[in-house]
Structure 1
Amino acid sequence: MTEGVLRPILDLPPEELPGEGFRKAQIAHWLYARGVRDFAEMTDLPKALREALAQAWRISEFSLVEAYPSKDGSVKYLFTLLDGKKTEAVYMPYPNRKTVCLSSMVGCPAGCTFCATGALGFGRNLTAAEILDQLLAIAHHQGISPREIRNVVLMGMGEPLLNLAQVLKAVRVMLHPKGLAMSPRRITLSTVGIPRGIYRLAEEDLGIRLALSLHAPDDETRRKIIPTAHRYPIAEIMEAVRHYYAKTKRRVTFEYTLLKGINDHPWQARLLARLLKGISAHVNLIPFNPWEGAPVGGTPKPGILAFAEELRRLGVPTSIRFSRGQDVGAACGQLALKAPKPLTFKLLPEGAGQ
């Protein structure tokens, strides 16, 4: 370790945390059940150990966190990473659950035309510690235990399957009984469709859910709105998805953002239904959430309802997912590192995370 550089303790699985014997479990409990942001708060550890931890390790991966509450109760979080780059996450409380939408990258390389994040381009991959700390920082700001957040969707900035090693490392801590102790059924990974990543996810068989951002049932349309579709045709993606379903027997969600005059025709609904035959699938239709400079527009509500009805008529389980947080740029496809009137707070004393 370079002298003076603190190592990220969240990069370690619970069984590899510093300390001897049961001290590892104590530290894990403070991090993931109590959500403390300072080693000094781990009061059942010997003072000498707390001081040694503070001299070698850091808890926070952020120098600054800004929160943007929405009128619907959700909160967008803008994180400034220790290298000065930024990423975002969204907290969505519901009556019976608390959900966070986490990012896996700074920006995104997919470049989907309907997504503000794609317009930013790719910055860099996030580490497992940076992915986990989004959830921990949100819990800290909300004044709750990290374990009260029982639903995670990896649907924020970035393509998770292009940062799969770090994403899987973070997910394993989420699932670990001494980590966040989450149910795998409550973790969803969303991908634009990277076949090799889908095969790898099937082999890992962690029990988490897969969501495919399909957005068009034909290659010609998909290539117009998703640049990466030129590399991965739908047939190749669906072959990987069918392998995933055969291997895991878990239902796959298909996300479909409806764009006016582009992918909302009745024939496309019929083609989508044929495409999904033979696997357990659920379609989430997503109304387009507008953002400044977007080159596309959304399908009006009557068209959304008609598309949904056509899919249901053909036997495809279908929902319409209206996104939360539109007023603060937190809705699906709106994450663009923009900051409307933030409530700003520090997670650590000045310089403590460096």
Structure 2
Amino acid sequence: MTTEKINLLDFDRQGLRTFFAEELNEKAFRAEQVMKWIYHFGVDNFDDMNNINKVLREKLKERCEIKAPVVSAAQHSTDGTIKWAMRVGDQDVETVYIPEEDRATLCVSSQVGCALECKFCSTAQQGFNRNLKVSEIIGQVWRAAREIGLQKETGRRPITNVVMMGMGEPLLNMKNLIPALEIMLDDLGFGLSKRRVTVSTSGVVSGLDQMTGKIDVALAISLHAPNDKLRSEIMPINDRWDIQEFLASVRRYIASSNANRGRVTVEYVLLDHVNDGTEHAHELAALMKDTPCKINLIPFNPYPGSPYKKPSNSRIDRFQKALMQYEHTVTTRKTRGDDIDAACGQLVGDVIDRTKRTAVAKAAKGESIDIKAL
């Protein structure tokens, strides 16, 4: 009988120290040495950890592993954006690398699929399967660093920003989100500034209240409508926590946070002739008057089968100009990677479709089928 190995990517610093002390009978500083090898130098082979004694290396090889998601598909844009489908278990999640002159941002997934059923979201059409483990969340960052050329001998850190805006609702996976965030912020992990790690939520008030006072990172909220009637139509979660409950929770969080500098980022997807009228802009400004914020307008990225369209440039401009009459900071998200699948979740959806087509073709030839692939 083979004993399943312990994946060290599942531990934040405190968890790793405890594991080394209680399970390996090793001192805490050994755990910290190993953690530095994993995250500063991208090492996944214990034999490469040359300041770790041979006895401990053998013990680690026998009982532990360093196992991150692997890339199952990739798309490279001419502007440098890379979109990966990363294999977690027998499924895929999406991770996107967005390089700019002064930063390199990684968009990370927290779940396989999503349960919230937002009507305009490509990922929502795939349904929900499961939460990602700590190792599968932080492992996306680890794998991306390797893919884009982490140089082991220098310990260069090529990712400067992480946004939890990939597949899934992060605050429905609090148990694994918090340790993953701790590793991102830890000097022995990726050492990112708390202002450069952003968690986005669609309005899971219970999770946001749980985060308050527990971990300090930048917050973005997926609002997408200026009133409860419209928001409930396109975001069913609004029936559980309405806008005022959501914003009250947001204000509690930013009041306890240094990372947010007293304000929150509001994400607002513009859907043609749905939520993009000037009347919606004025309503949004009034709604947010008591919540210091930056409003980020996101023109909708169409995907196959979507009932929504991207607004015309003139409608986008009118909406932004109407908002800018007020005191809020307003930006329109710059389009990146528009020569590859644009919508979040679309690459993984394509991988799933290819898997299904392959399975059907095998069935037609009388070959065996893995039912899980369907």
* TM-score normalized with structure 1 length: 0.90
**Aligned match of 1:241:** 250
The alpha-carbon deviation at position 197 of structure 1 amounts to: 1.5
Give the secondary structure class of the aligned counterpart of 2:296.
strand
The alpha-carbon deviation at position 20 of structure 1 amounts to: 2.7
Contact 2:68 2:143 in 1 (8 A): no
**Aligned match of 1:121:** 127
1:89-168 to 2 correspondences below 5 Å: 89-144=95-150, 145=155, 147-168=157-178
Give the secondary structure class of the aligned counterpart of 1:212.
strand
Which structure has more relative contact order (CA 8 Å, sep 6+)? It is 1
- Structure 2 Cα separation of the partners of residues 241 and 262 of structure 1: 25
Select which of 292, 302, 307 maps to 1:290.
302
**Aligned match of 1:197:** 207
Select which of 80, 86, 93 maps to 2:92.
86
Distance verdict in 2 for CA 1:242–1:181, change over 3 Å: same
Contact 1:209 1:251 in 2 (8 A): no
The alpha-carbon deviation at position 334 of structure 1 amounts to: 4.3
**Aligned match of 2:321:** 309
Q: For 1:179-220, what per-residue CA distance to the aligned partner results, in whole angstroms no more than 9, with x for missing partners?
A: 21111000000111111122222231x321111100001111
The alpha-carbon deviation at position 146 of structure 1 amounts to: 6.9
* TM-score normalized with structure 2 length: 0.85
Contact 1:40 1:50 in 2 (8 A): yes
The alpha-carbon deviation at position 65 of structure 1 amounts to: 3.9
**4+ runs of 1 displaced by more than 6 Å?**
none
Q: For 1:271-301, what per-residue CA distance to the aligned partner results, in whole angstroms no more than 9, with x for missing partners?
A: 1101111222000000111111111111111
Give the secondary structure class of the aligned counterpart of 2:256.
helix
**Aligned match of 1:207:** 216
1:1-354 to 2 correspondences below 5 Å: 3-15=2-14, 16-17=16-17, 18=20, 19-62=26-69, 64-82=71-89, 84-144=90-150, 145=155, 147-204=157-214, 206-248=215-257, 250-332=262-344, 334=346, 336-339=348-351
- Structure 1 Cα separation of the partners of residues 35 and 97 of structure 2: 23
Give the secondary structure class of the aligned counterpart of 1:326.
coil
**1:216 maps to amino acid:** A
- What is the root-mean-square deviation in Å for CA atoms of aligned residues? 2.0
The alpha-carbon deviation at position 326 of structure 1 amounts to: 3.1
User: Larger radius of gyration, structure 1 or 2?
Assistant: 2
Contact 2:123 2:344 in 1 (8 A): no
Give structure 2 stretches of 5+ with no counterpart.
Answer: 21-25, 355-374
The alpha-carbon deviation at position 72 of structure 1 amounts to: 1.5
Distance verdict in 2 for CA 1:273–1:233, change over 3 Å: same
What number of residue pairs does the alignment pair up?
338
- Structure 2 Cα separation of the partners of residues 120 and 146 of structure 1: 36
Contact 2:122 2:344 in 1 (8 A): no
